[in-house]
Structure 1
């Protein structure tokens, strides 16, 4: 009985080993099966045909992957479509609100000068915007010409947040005023979302081009002490008119060399009223939701109310910084930024004046001219006092520049030392 069972057991074991070997060779050694499964099928073996074959069907792994990928792609595409439609809808609604706001303003503004032009007229006036004069904070400026041949500068307002406010500010503030030291607005265009402002052409560009020039001849022949005084006085008179001479007080909030344009005789004119704000003549403090202006020219109270309230004295501070740049030929920098090796411009000038040292632009001049530049610097140092109450009004600045320079007293330090400087 034992011998009868042994052959059977041995036979079964041999068959099982052979079957395992065949299966192992097939599943792990067959390139055909690997290719079959990668293509989405299922590999099988036929004992009748003694070979493997590929079973294809609708439930293959590849079909599942493709279906899943297609579903995700369709979902993402749907989200993008919904987001795009929502964005375009909100943008259209926003543009419509701005357009309505501007048109309501223009209806209230009336039909008096400056002249309103169509966009096609502006395009013809600017010769299809071929000659670009520069880039401002609210748009590009092109050279143009009125039908009567008068040269003009055409500012095309860019599509940006607050565009309607910028346009209204410009038209409302300088549209009806005329002063020798304020650039004149000759016309405007508001057609849909395309808006333009047409100014008198200023051939000598901005003051910034000259006071920061690397050409020493400019300082020797153009920005001589007498001319520096004339330019500072012209700017001061223009600002005095904005603060005291209009029916409503106009606060500019962006007085800087780039916004002071020069005419044929290098007389200064204040430009770019995109950040301006109208207020009552007797309104001493102005409420702002955020600081406005250019870094380096912004008064301390615009950073922090700890220094005082925002008023027309904030423009006085900007004027003082501008004049310090004029007399030094250097750009001012905010004391909170830059490397520790940088010298804060007001501090540098204050030390020069206190010690009787010459400023950069007073070299190779007479003693009388040096004294004029020194006194001009003293006026500027009064204007940048950190406490607004210690700054003079622009009327007083004009008086100091026209006849009382010799009696000026040295102001206290107009800056706070780094150790004691309060942070906003």
Structure 2
């Protein structure tokens, strides 16, 4: 079975027919046929002329005629002129002064002033170039001027007496074949001027041997005007000159010397002229237009050339130039980026080598250096830390602050403090970023992460020897001592803890995370805080209790003591998994062992390691004394760590709070226990909370 014709194949011819009818109807409505008009002896009034009262779509408004008392008139320079004839084959109209026609006496004087200067010369090639009147300059022109003289003129044949009661009025002739009127008699003033046809005069009359009656007849016969430029535009195209070659049928010939110019290519041009015209149209947006020669009414433009010349070719050329411009911009941006790339690389290397002020990065640069935050190093209370790489190739750790105080004080504090210091045991700040709510800090990368994963036992982490732990503790002490005494301003860290100690490739410790730090003059012994700050378990008692002493650098000494205790014991000080208080708070237990001169067995330590561990315990116990005045300075703590164990004395027993009562029964169960094991609690790189604690102060 053959398939039925598709629905679309049936609709297409019907739709095409309807569309064609609609187009024809619209064309008919937009340009309906105009009947010819007649007035007096002038019949067949048609395009470009129109008779006043004809439909608005008929003829050209510039060539509107009027019918008065069965006479056809046209207005030129606000004056009325009678139309003697219209020649549609030669494209000429003959007009004469209305006064000459209506006043048959010899006392006639022209009613309107008209001159050949009111018309454009015959070299016109476009109707747009018309002068004040929509015709070109009359041919075979005769200029006639009327002069009113104070005295009679005699003996000069040029002056033709006009019989009028107005005084001594004379008419003077001038043509295109003779010189302009000159040598006007003294006392003679020009009244009015008109035009006539020079060829209407006989040879005798041309020699100024003419009476005013004969001149009057020549004026009545009128002068010629032409609208040929309108015909040239319609027949040959815009701005194309033409001339009449056959006056019997009105045939015109277009001037081919205009074919290759912009807007002049027409169907009358030779093919090579048209090709040349389109070629020039690439730069000049040539308009290819023509009109039907056999349809002077309702002429249609040929739009193919117009579309190609004005739309297709310019778009192609514009696209080419746009592509070139984009290419140039890309090259400039590339050169600019290369120049700034080397600039940033130099700045970053200089910063790393000299530890100068940090760079401020844009957020897009932070995102780029981290590869879209692909490699996450750790997560803490402040936010996350990602691994990144600078343009110079240096690895960095990018800390994105997700929790900050209302005015960004922790961020400002960190940039302001760590950005100005340089010490081998203080982490180096490479740069920072502030973009709305996004804040980031760019540090040098510490491949071995934070200390907590080495001192708190983890299966995936190789344990450190006590010799290495001792070296790390000594480096931390040097770093904190530098913060307290090595800078122009004293820097109080307020958040010393294991996961704020970072380790590089060689396990050299570096103090990090200065979000809670506070600057203070070196000579100030006490600082003012509106709220306690730090991490519970490492915070000094004076941050809670006012009656034991003011807040000073000794708060960092306390935190270092708690850190040192955890490093020496490889376990957390406070272990909530233990059932008895002596094991619940490790510093108390270790103090009691030393107080009772019991041997503390550190399982995985060598003999040298045991000595170093014991020295670290002694220094830690001095650092965590309840009263700030009982604690050593960091410089003293360094001296104690570097000294001999025999030179160290056991400090008083540490306590949690003032007036604490010690119950020795808490330790009786474990009086024979002299060893301890590692805790399994873990933290993250850069981990832990940096949130400021704000408990109520108590007296």
TM-score, structure 2 as length reference: 0.42
Check conservation: 1:295, 1:334, Cα contact below 8 A: no
Deviation at residue 397 of structure 1 after TM alignment? 0.8
Alignment match, 2:489: 248
Alignment match, 2:653: 413
Alignment match, 1:183: 427
Q: How many residues align?
A: 308
Deviation at residue 404 of structure 1 after TM alignment? 4.0
Change over 3 Å in CA distance of 1:243–1:160 after alignment to 2: closer
**DSSP-derived class of the 2:462 partner:** helix
| 1:320-348 Cα shifts (integer Å, max 9, x gaps) | 0001111112212299x997645311101
**DSSP-derived class of the 1:273 partner:** coil
Structure 1: give runs of 5+ residues left out of the alignment.
1-111
Check conservation: 1:375, 1:406, Cα contact below 8 A: no
Check conservation: 2:404, 2:410, Cα contact below 8 A: no
Matched, 1:272 2:513: yes
Deviation at residue 113 of structure 1 after TM alignment? 2.3
Change over 3 Å in CA distance of 1:280–1:304 after alignment to 2: same
Structure 2: give runs of 5+ residues left out of the alignment.
1-355, 664-696
Matched, 1:292 2:533: yes
**DSSP-derived class of the 2:496 partner:** coil
**DSSP-derived class of the 1:161 partner:** coil
Alignment match, 1:372: 612
Deviation at residue 400 of structure 1 after TM alignment? 1.1
Alignment match, 2:414: 170
**DSSP-derived class of the 1:156 partner:** strand
Alignment match, 1:308: 549
Aligned counterpart in structure 1 of residue 558 of structure 2, from 301, 309, 317: 317
| Greater mean alpha carbon deviation, residues 349-358 or residues 202-211 | 349-358
| Greater mean alpha carbon deviation, residues 325-334 or residues 306-315 | 325-334
Change over 3 Å in CA distance of 1:409–1:126 after alignment to 2: same
Change over 3 Å in CA distance of 1:254–1:338 after alignment to 2: farther
Check conservation: 2:546, 2:698, Cα contact below 8 A: no
Change over 3 Å in CA distance of 1:261–1:162 after alignment to 2: farther
Pick the structure with more strand per residue.
2
The 5-angstrom pairing of residues 111-260 of structure 1 reads 113-162=357-406, 164-215=408-459, 218-219=462-463, 222=464, 224-260=465-501
| 1:188-225 Cα shifts (integer Å, max 9, x gaps) | 11122222110000011111111111449834xx2x22
Q: Give distance in 2, aligned partners of 1:206 and 1:409.
A: 32
Pick the structure with more helix per residue.
1
Alignment match, 2:69: none
Alignment match, 2:164: none
**DSSP-derived class of the 1:113 partner:** coil
**DSSP-derived class of the 1:218 partner:** coil
**DSSP-derived class of the 1:129 partner:** coil
Check conservation: 1:169, 1:276, Cα contact below 8 A: yes
Deviation at residue 356 of structure 1 after TM alignment? 3.9
User: Which structure is larger by alpha-carbon Rg, 1 or 2?
Assistant: 2
TM-score, structure 1 as length reference: 0.68
Deviation at residue 160 of structure 1 after TM alignment? 3.8
Alignment match, 2:266: none
